[in-house]
Structure 1
Amino acid sequence: MNNTIDIIKDHRSIRQYLDKDVPNELIDDIIKSAQAMPNSINGQQASVIVVRDKKKKEKLAELVGNQEYVAKAPVFLVFVMDFYRTYLAGEKTGLKQVIHEDIEGILAGSVDVGIALGASVVAAESLGLGTVPIGGIRKNPEEVIELLGLPKYTFPMVGLVVGYPADKSHKKPRVPFDSFKHEESYDTKVVEASINDYDEEMNKYLKDIGRSEQETNWSTLTSRIYQSVYYPKVKDAVAKQGLKSK
């Protein structure tokens, strides 16, 4: 097993950080790793905003759902779906951009951001840093857009807290591997059979780390969340940015 794979497989989210700055050189290495990743048609539909300002991090921590580690960690990265750059290319060439007016554009941009985020997590952890992605950047998107000065045809998709870990945290179990990896076609029977096993594993994990009173198994947790659209402001905010999903 090589070192890169070992680092990836040992991933865990970190929410407690040392009061220690992360040098710009390391942040640049992380973001250059993200930029080097593949993207749709080389359109490069992603940008990253580095936030270090204390007051801005405090405001973002509030906007993402009062997640205090966003404010306490030294660096917060915001990954932006970015069709503004490609729009400018169209203005230059006279070839009007329309991809941002279709769901295909949002899908392509989302994939680009996801690949960039994954690369950033691996790069950061290879440097001895800890991370935790923040989907809550979409909780109050219009305020985030204003705070970060995002132009039309862009949208804040996900954040990433970066810092030196104060503790190693616990590695959360994943769904059974044979329900994640499918051979040739999707195996619904394996997935259906795996859910009870995974719920039992999560119950044991939560008991072992002393959080069984605060949290519950996977089925109950995801069902509680997914019985509603938990970031209902996204749809209108996306439309206001000129992005459509027709």
Structure 2
Amino acid sequence: MSIAHSPIADKTDPAHTLLHRRYGTDQPFEPDAWNDSLETILSHRTVRTYLPKPVPDEIVRLAVSAAQSAPTSSNLQAWSVVAVRDPQRRAALADLAAPNPQILSAPLFLLWIADLSRLRKITVQHGNSGEGLDYLESFLLASVDAALAAQNALVAFESLGLGTCYIGGMRNHPAEVGKLLNLPPEAFAVFGMTVGYPDPGVETDIKPRLPQSAVLHHEQYGETSAKDALSGYDDTLRAFQKGQGMAVRGWSEVVAARVADKAALKGRDLLTGIARQMGFKIR
């Protein structure tokens, strides 16, 4: 039975319902505070099938405004985003990220860029070498900036009734992606995001996450109940997978396979060298 349709999930209190669905079980707390923002965030689910309906430009601009409202380290704003609507370009990107057919289904594909090129130009204009951009810290900073911006945009899109899906497969062939997008040196597509109106004929549910006992630590990192928490989560995710008609593998098995060896990284073990070829120093 799908977790979302269990009797406990039918309670009318949205906080109780969404927390139950987010974790697959009743939670040991009942929040007094609640608002529409929390409801949007906790309702997040991955959408991979979209209607052939374009995303209005004003919604894209509004989402980018939300993205630019995210925190950014030292106000460096070391990110950019490329909006791709052209079917042929989306098809080429889908080939590079395969298998990700949702790139073909979505009318809009956003590429979130860790972008040091703009900062390099500014430092040169001011007579500096910009040596600070040559270190891993700057590449990491730009990647974090891009992630924070993208998540704000995702919440904005979903609050307006659109669906989204992150695409990490852009890192499978980053140099080729860079050429397709005409990225300058020191600009790197960290991930993509499909955006569109969800196809109502293809329902997806809220995927349960790890229990808070596995991720929330107080004062210092502790592993007291991690084993039991992970075991229970495997059972929860198996129930979810069964209810969604997915392969029933739990979580631990999938994680172990995803990071088992170099081959499991699908070419991403070469990212440091490729990033250097794309202009990043990464000392």
Q: 1:127 aligns with which of 160, 166, 187?
A: 160
1:13 aligns with 2:46: yes
1:192 aligns with 2:227: yes
For the structure 1 residues 103 and 17, does the alpha-carbon distance in structure 2 shift closer, same or farther, using more than 3 Å as the test?
A: same
1:55 aligns with 2:92: no
- Structure 1 distance, partners of 2:107, 2:162, is 11
User: Does the 8 A contact of 2:46 with 2:164 survive in 1?
Assistant: yes
Q: TM-score, normalised by structure 2?
A: 0.83
Q: Any unmatched runs of 5+ in structure 1?
A: none
Letter in 2 for 1:236: G
Moved over 3 A (4+): none
SS of aligned partner of 1:232: helix
Kindly report which structure 2 residues correspond to 1:204-243, keeping only aligned pairs within 5 A, or say none.
204-211=239-246, 214-229=247-262, 230=265, 231-243=268-280
Kindly report which structure 2 residues correspond to 1:59-208, keeping only aligned pairs within 5 A, or say none.
59-167=92-200, 168-208=203-243
- Structure 1 distance, partners of 2:137, 2:181, is 25
Q: 45-54 vs 95-104, which deviates more?
A: 95-104
Q: Any unmatched runs of 5+ in structure 2?
A: 1-33
Q: 98-107 vs 74-83, which deviates more?
A: 98-107
User: Post-superposition shift, 1:109?
Assistant: 1.2
User: Does the 8 A contact of 1:100 with 1:242 survive in 2?
Assistant: no
1:107-155 C-alpha deviation (Å, 9 max, x unpaired): 2112101101110110000111000000001111111010001111111
Letter in 2 for 1:205: F
1:28-84 C-alpha deviation (Å, 9 max, x unpaired): 111111012111111111100000011000111111113111022110000000000
For the structure 1 residues 166 and 33, does the alpha-carbon distance in structure 2 shift closer, same or farther, using more than 3 Å as the test?
A: same
User: Does the 8 A contact of 1:140 with 1:233 survive in 2?
Assistant: no
Q: TM-score, normalised by structure 1?
A: 0.95
* Rg larger for: 2
Q: 91-100 vs 17-26, which deviates more?
A: 91-100
User: Post-superposition shift, 1:244?
Assistant: 3.5
The percent of aligned pairs where both chains have the same amino acid is 32
User: Post-superposition shift, 1:215?
Assistant: 4.5
User: Post-superposition shift, 1:11?
Assistant: 0.4
Q: RMSD of aligned C-alpha atoms?
A: 1.3
- Structure 2 distance, partners of 1:99, 1:196, is 45
SS of aligned partner of 1:166: coil
User: Does the 8 A contact of 2:214 with 2:230 survive in 1?
Assistant: no
Q: 1:44 aligns with which of 52, 59, 77?
A: 77
- Structure 2 distance, partners of 1:198, 1:27, is 36
1:244 aligns with 2:281: yes
User: Does the 8 A contact of 1:60 with 1:71 survive in 2?
Assistant: no
